[in-house]
Amino acid sequence: MTSDIPWNAIGLAYFVVTWVGYALYAKRRAKGSAKATLSGAMRRHRDLWAERMLYRDNRIGDAALLANQERVVGFFASTTLLLLAAVLTALSRASELAEITQSIPFISNSVAELEFKFLVLALILIYAFFKVTWSLRQYGFVSVMVGSAPMPEEDLSAKDRQRFAQQLGRLMDLAGHDNNSCLRAYYFGLAVVCWVAGNVAFIVATSLIALVLAEREFASGAVSCIRESEVDFVPLVSQKVTSSEKN
């Protein structure tokens, strides 16, 4: 393994820089750029959802949508634990797996190499678990805020309603970002699996995953559909006032 240490270090450094760099770029582009992003488009729809919900008497549909989102996030939380258990099991069998890889052409891993690579994958899954469980908790907080949301007939100023809607939309966005971070960890975890085939495969897989994520988050048809479907919210009260002024 001694001769492979520099190459493993280069591969791991490239992986970390690509993942962190992509995450920072995606976050910055979603917040401070007019260019299309999936996160930015979803943030706007979450804000519109929160604004429109405050003018609905019946919020059963909103509660059902939140419950469905919590089920999806909960599924990833339990799946992450199962994957982590599988990786830890593989870590304990590293010597046997090293013998198997040595029989495969162009692939050779020492026991220490496999243990290190499985350890990296386990750390990624631990990170994903923390992210997805925090996302799940935040969706629980959203449910509480929906339950405490003011009703349309309450005598509140438009400023107070807007403030509540903004914070509710922001909390939903934070939960969505943490869930997205978990999914991103899943994708980059696949590159670590390819690391078993060597550093070249590791670097190529890392690059391809970053390109796939960039296409989906910045240039996919889903981003276009979400952006083009946006309809500005006009409270019914304002519509009535406008109508009476015209009459």
Nearest to 213 by CA among 174, 181, 184, 186: 184
pLDDT of residue 239: 44
pTM, whole model, 2 decimals? 0.85
Distances in Å between the Cα of 203 and the Cα atoms of 22, 84, 98, 122, 123 are 15, 23, 21, 19, 19
Per the CB < 8 A criterion, the answer to whether 109 and 94 are in contact is no
pLDDT of residue 179: 94
Q: What is the mean pLDDT of each run of 10 residues along the chain (247 residues)?
A: 69 95 90 78 91 90 92 93 92 78 69 88 96 95 93 89 93 94 95 89 95 92 88 65 43
pLDDT of residue 186: 95
pLDDT of residue 3: 47
pLDDT of residue 1: 44
For the record, the structure tokens of 65 come out as 């949508």
pLDDT of residue 237: 54
> Domain residue spans in the chain?
2-240
pLDDT of residue 236: 61
pLDDT of residue 166: 93
